[in-house]
Amino acid sequence: MAKTVFEVLKEKIDEDISSAKDFLSGGSAKDYSEYRELAGLVRGLETSKRYVEDLSRNYMEDDND
């Protein structure tokens, strides 16, 4: 079965979160400012992922009616 647009978005967001977390955990941030920026990016991506999951769930519920 083909992936839905929601699944593709969630996978891409997960990849970006993982990449940012790997960068942070590797100690690659050159200063506190960059660390904060990346931590904010991760927080924003996680929020975006929840929005996509909610939208997907609502879409599937509407589709079943």
pTM of the full structure: 0.86
> Stretch 22-44: mean pLDDT, rounded?
96
CA distances from 6 to 9, 13, 43, 48 (A): 5, 11, 19, 11
What are the tens digits of pLDDT across the range 17-26?
A: 999 999 999 9
CB 45 within 8 A of CB 17: yes
CB 20 within 8 A of CB 36: no
Q: Which residue range forms the structural domain that includes residue 37?
A: 5-64
Count the domains in the chain.
Answer: 1
